[in-house]
Homo-oligomer: A and B are copies of this chain.
């Protein structure tokens, strides 16, 4: 029970409305303790806590908890309170949260923000969140090339407070607002104060375009060992900085999204602290499609009822054939999803992928077909029954991996989310074919079984 304490203590403290104590207690907690405590004190206490704390402290809590939880809370806070908290976050976190909000909620909050910050955020949320513009931060150090090292150092000293919040690794240099290059802290250290930046700026540094897609950012930071890269617009002006850590974060989010979607959780993250009806509605939206597809597939069995009642033993193996074909197919889907996100295959390579996949399908089809066929033979002492179910599963396995391997590429090419759609389509087709094969084979051998 030791490990229950934190949130119970937090609940009590919130009741007391004693800000100082609450803050002191939170400061003492590890991030993971804050995360689990927040998800245990309930929605109302969460809101009370956030309004109780000073905005900058509330912002820290918001950055700790899962994004979906933070969004949920922002929607129920008064716009003014929400704006005050968001104002304390870095620009990329601001944009992330506001894009997740209901449009009118977001607008209400932005209107409560300082004009210039609001303006900045409005720009950011226009970007697709999986592009350089969507991932970049807009807090960075920029100086015109005419400045001297001395002037820069003086500015750094003066504004050091404000710059604390920045992830200062590079200083960016512009000339008439056009980006011309970078300057590393180290270079500043090693130059005379009188040196103009134009002399020590590292020219034609690599820049990213506003609309560069996530895949490009990922491979960019794979090749280049930078902490961040400058983002420029068409006119060559510096609009932001993409940090490596934020790209990694976006990458992890993408992988998690795919994990959820392949398992049938659609519409983004689901936490069990969300309202029951919302959760069940979102899950049903996917399940109800699946049940229709399932009934469609099962209709094949209905057509062959005579055969089935003649060979009732077959009914035992139909679910096995359906399930195993799904398993084999989903393995191929998973590999294709990975190869796509690793960039080792491109959507147009359907044929090449099929060739590489079908060989595995043939081997596994043989093995699985033999296993189930042997089981059927042993059980009923009828080798023909074994041939029927074994043959059906064997052939169906080859088809399943063929579809599973190539379908994600095809879906990607036509811009349908492969993680979401591959599974249901795959299992429907393989179920229908599996039932069809088993029952026609049985029909042909009716006299021997």
Contact = CB atoms under 8 A, between A and B. Distances in A.
A449 interface: no
Contacts of A75: none
A445 interface: no
Nearest to A35: B343
A344 interface: yes
Contacts of A35: 219, 342-344
A223 B64 contact: yes
A216 B338 CA distance: 27
A160 B186 contact: yes
Given A312-B308, A315-B315, A295 B375 contact: yes
B316 A263 contact: no
B318 A291 contact: no
A276 B156 contact: no
A351 B321 CA distance: 35
Given A3-B346, A160-B186, A316-B301, A335 B63 contact: no
A431 B185 contact: no
A190 B186 CA distance: 13
A396 interface: no
A326 B185 CA distance: 56
Nearest to A308: B315
Contact of A190 (B160, B287, B318, B356): B160
A269 B341 CA distance: 12
Nearest to A320: B294
Contact of A167 (B225, B297, B327, B342): B225
Given A31-B220, A309-B312, A379-B302, A265 B167 contact: no
A156 B283 CA distance: 58
Contacts of A410: none
Interface stretch (A14-22, A42-50, A174-182, A245-253): A245-253
A25 interface: no
Given A30-B219, A322-B323, A427-B323, A334 B167 contact: no
A380 to B, nearest CB: 9
Interface stretch (A120-128, A194-202, A230-238, A363-371): A363-371
Contacts of A317: 298
Tell me which of A333, A357, A364 has the highest count of chain B C-beta atoms within 10 A of its own C-beta: A364
B190 A271 contact: no
A205 interface: no
A262 interface: yes
B297 A157 contact: no
A411 interface: no
A326 B269 CA distance: 20
A372 B291 contact: yes
B272 A190 contact: no
Nearest to A256: B255
A8 interface: no
A60 interface: yes
A272 B334 contact: no
23 contacts: A31-B219, A60-B223, A64-B223, A167-B225, A167-B227, A169-B227, A248-B252, A252-B252, A256-B341, A260-B338, A264-B327, A264-B330, A270-B335, A273-B356, A276-B356, A283-B331, A287-B324, A291-B320, A294-B323, A305-B315, A305-B316, A315-B318, A318-B318
Given A288-B371, A298-B316, 16 more contacts: A34-B223, A64-B222, A163-B186, A167-B227, A169-B227, A248-B252, A259-B334, A263-B331, A265-B331, A284-B368, A290-B323, A291-B371, A298-B320, A308-B312, A309-B309, A319-B431
For the complex of A and B, list the 5 residue pairs with the smallest distance between their C-beta atoms, beginning with the closest: A248-B248, A263-B334, A31-B219, A255-B255, A31-B223
